[in-house]
Amino acid sequence: MEKLKKRILLSSPTTHGEELFYIKEAFEKNWLAPLGFNCDIFEEDISNYIGGSMPEKYYSLSLNSGTAALHLAIKLAGIKSGDIVLCSDMTFSATVNPISYEGGIQVFVDSERDTWNIDPSALEKAIAKYPQAKALVMVHLYGTPAKMDEILEICKNNNILLIEDSAEALSSSYKGRQCGSFGKYSIISFNGNKIITTSGGGMLITRDKNAREKAFFWATQARENTLWYQHEEIGYNYRMSNVLAGIGRGQMKYLSEHRNLKQKIYNNYKEGFIKENLPVTMNPYLNYTSPNHWLSCMLINKNCKKDPIEIVKKLNELNIESRPLWKPMHMQPVFSGCDNIYTEKIPVSEDVFSRGLCLPSDIKMTEEEQNYVIKAIKACF
């Protein structure tokens, strides 16, 4: 196949121009520093979106990254040195790194095959082995909702505090309820590759107003309410810029449009692979959930001995960006001393990682370009 002149990207930022209105307003008011009216309004927009028709009010805190939001969630959960924290095994390292910031110990819990998210049966097995575990940090992988009914029930029965990593899952829903609304503390990422972006940024979400205010205190260097600079706790410089929050306000207006385009990409891949009779399936989801399809992924059939890394390299030669799936945390050298709980003979996360890859899911990709990707993948087989 002929190499493309223009590179097809995995997932790049998509802007619409309306973001400039809110950025300009920040410049005109000379409010460029962290905090400000754009942050306040963006937080309210996210709270209302996540809360939806829920009876409880949600409180959001805009921060400079999703990782910062996760760190503050770990602190709010009271994790101290030596505390056991259960967490999703198949995820990006930012999900679990903040546990180490506070001296906690990760215990990784395997995935199940219906969603590639945390396996409720493996979670029960982990709690039986580690009844002292204080919290669970779970992710909605690639924007696909996890099995929340089972997970919530297990957490409730075992007094496990839930931290919900919805970094990839803004606009995904489980039985009509928005991802990010389930955890005691939840987070969203607005990194440049996410479904909407603030260039870099994140949001902490909670139904506990006091917890939101405590996180705000930590995020602003833990400065006490005095005329002079007084600090009685360790703080952090975690707040979001008022300028970047303006980008977020503009992006929120296009969230549904971005989501619909992501879904169309997923469906086109699924139909194209079936039409070409390729030995692959798409990343799965439960029929009573509504994923945002942040990244469309494919899984090579077990009976087909094809290395996904070979496909990634071949696509790259054709100027197509793709990537392996998240390498499971228990396989990462930095976490080699941590336990991993699974129920099958070989961890599901290992199996999925060995056979899967992330496909170009950029919403600016044309249908012709996507068809080119499908033909390129067909050529690999």
pLDDT at 25: 95
Per-residue model confidence (pLDDT) at position 1: 82
Topology of domain 19-252 in CATH is Aspartate Aminotransferase; domain 2 (3.40.640)
Cα-to-chain-centroid distance, residue 226:
38
What pLDDT score was predicted for residue 59? 98
Residue among 218, 220, 234, 241 nearest 72 (CA): 218
Indicate if the alpha-carbon torsion angle 18, 23, 27, 28 is positive or negative: positive
Beta partners for residue 318, in sequence order:
none
The residue extents of the domains of the chain are 19-252, 255-380
From start to end of 194-317, where are the E strands? 202-206, 280-282, 289-290, 297-300
Tens digit of each residue's pLDDT, the chain (381 residues): 888 889 999 999 999 999 999 999 999 999 888 889 999 999 999 999 999 888 999 999 999 999 999 999 999 999 999 999 999 999 999 999 999 999 999 999 999 999 999 999 999 999 999 999 999 999 999 999 999 999 999 999 999 999 999 999 999 999 999 999 999 999 999 999 999 999 999 999 999 999 999 999 999 999 999 999 999 999 999 999 999 999 999 999 999 999 999 999 999 999 999 999 999 999 999 999 999 999 999 999 999 989 999 999 999 999 999 999 999 999 999 999 999 999 999 999 999 999 999 999 999 999 999 999 999 999 999
**pLDDT value at residue 33:** 83
C-alpha angle 11-48-66 in degrees, rounded to nearest 5: 40
Distance CA 146, CA 112 (A): 9
Closest CA to 97 of 334, 336, 265: 334
Say what the pLDDT of residue 32 is. Answer: 87
- On whether the CB atoms of residues 52 and 181 are closer than 8 A, the answer is yes
Residue 370 has a pLDDT of 98
- How far apart (Å, rounded) are the C-alpha atoms in residues 237 and 220? 6
Are 320 and 7 in contact by the 8 Å Cβ rule? The answer is yes
CA 109 – CA 340 distance, rounded (Å): 6
Q: What is the pLDDT of residue 35?
A: 86
Containing 341, the helix (H) or strand (E) segment is: strand 339-341
Angle at 125 between CA 119 and CA 130, to 5 degrees: 120
CATH number for the region 255-380 comes to: 3.90.1150.10
pLDDT of residue 10: 98
The predicted structure's pLDDT at residue 26: 94
Alpha-carbon distance 30 to 176, whole Å? 41
